[in-house]
Amino acid sequence: MMSILEKIMENTSLELRQKMAAAPLSSLRRAAEKAGKRPSFFNALSQEGTSIIAEVKKASPSKGLICANFDPLRIACEYERGGAAAVSVLTDRAFFQGELGYLDDIAAGVNLPLLRKDFIIHEYQVYEAKVHRASAILLLAVALDK
């Protein structure tokens, strides 16, 4: 029996192969080079005092739907008004009901660094994050090989 992490990783690999067949890494790299700069994640967390990374998440495998009236931009704007230093955005579709487009939507409306939170297993996803206006990515050690 596969663990939830194994299921997520298997699905991520399948989705990644499909994306790479539709748009090669070389074209994504070129798009990433043209992408504009976002506020620095490092600088946001280096400020004196406590820095909060607030999360935009619609659902999870363990809790199911978390927010029925999910509006990622509205949520991120509330976080910015509340003093968050950065916003973490779930982009995994199959298990968290996330979308890469949420990064674009949020970037258009807030001036905070954005963290792409997903199961990053290939450099392709790093370039995707840049194209979709993320300032940083989250790497899960358990999802990576040496």
For tokens 């998440």, what's the residue?
57
Per-residue pLDDT, averaged over 94-103, amounts to: 97
Domain assignment of residue 15, given as a range: 4-143
DSSP state of 142: G
pTM for the predicted model, two decimal places: 0.93
Total domain count, the chain: 1
User: Could you give the CA distance from residue 13 to residue 7 in angstroms, rounded to a whole number?
Assistant: 10
Alpha-helical (H) ranges within 23-114 are 25-34, 41-45, 72-81, 93-96, 101-109
User: For the domain that residue 96 is a member of, what is the CATH number?
Assistant: 3.20.20.70
pLDDT digits (tens, 9 = 90+) for 30-61: 999 999 899 999 999 999 999 999 999 999 99
